[in-house]
Structure 1
Amino acid sequence: AENVSGEGAPERARGSVAASDAFFPFADGLQILIDAGVKAVVQPGGSVRDEEVVAAAEAAGVTLYLTGARHFFHG
């Protein structure tokens, strides 16, 4: 895991691809990645606000892949 937010965000985040094991409940989480220079994001989707998140990605020119599968387990 990499912290890409805040002052001094790593330059290696620019142009990278990010993956999340959970959906973005709001577009603000995606916006942090966009601001860091991430160019593509993979996430499962499934939020009631997926349309907002997709719209934010499209507006920023960021590719967003919604897999439809969550990748963690609460056991």
Structure 2
Amino acid sequence: MVTGLAGVGKGALALHAAHRAVDHGWFGGGTLFVHLRGYDPAGPVSGEQARESLLRALGIRKNDVPPTAEEQEQSSALRA
């Protein structure tokens, strides 16, 4: 977990560490990233938006995304 005030570079640090981990082969199966927009004026990404984004990144077409949050969570758990 990385914590701190807005604008101090938490996101940059996390991305740098993630890229280094990938470069060292720690995640051979691939990686996923969701920018949660924590301090963005447009507001943060909701859990539902993040989950839908991850399901699409895993190759699940929009029409195949389960209709309820519970079914979406089960679907993403099966692919993990």
Class of the TM-score when normalised by the shorter of the 2 chains? under 0.3
- Larger fraction in strand: 1
**Structure number with bigger Rg:** 2
TM-score under structure 1 length normalisation: 0.25
- Larger fraction in helix: 2
